[in-house]
Amino acid sequence: MHGISLPPNEFGGPWIEALFLNCLPWDEHPYFKSIEGLKASSHLLIRRDGQLVQFVSFNGRAWHAGASNYRGRERCNDFSIGIELEGADDLPYEPVQYRVLAETIDALCRAYPTLSHDRVTGHSDIAPGRKTDPGPAFDWALLRRLLAERLRGSAVS
């Protein structure tokens, strides 16, 4: 799980997509100069309005985690699916983003048996001291509740 906004704390616009497609115009905003040359990608982006955008195939490697470690396993880009939420560490995410996120995680877990609801983690947890996203404004309890509801719902059907 990641949080991203470009420029920081500004939402909407084409900048996140441009970054992930390696065509961000570095001269368009003063902040972009500070990240000039950055190459990053993600499997998915969930915009503030809940729109889901896919950049990388789920079977392909995205460059979202950087130097990272999950449960003793390094290089998380090699084995994880990166989901970016348009947001900022200290600003609340939108309710629709949580709903789309839970639906997406549930669908991925059904499609890929090696994934599970209880292994969803934040960028800050796999790269502590280096990354802070999705940040303290991210409501982990809400996400866990939505995922649990989806599990209960699939057990009934």
Long-range pairs of 52-59 with CB within 8 A, sequence gap ≥ 24: 52/100, 52/104, 53/17, 55/17, 55/20, 55/21, 56/82, 58/108, 58/111, 58/112
Composition of the chain by helix, strand, coil, percent to 5: 35, 10, 55
User: Which amino acids are annotated catalytic?
Assistant: 84
Q: Is 58 helix (H, G, I), strand (E, B) or coil?
A: coil
Burial of 56 (0-12, 13-18, 19+ CB in 10 A): middle
Strands 83-86 and 2-4: parallel
Task: Please state, in angstroms and rounded to a whole number, the distance separating the CA atoms of residues 75 and 80.
Answer: 9
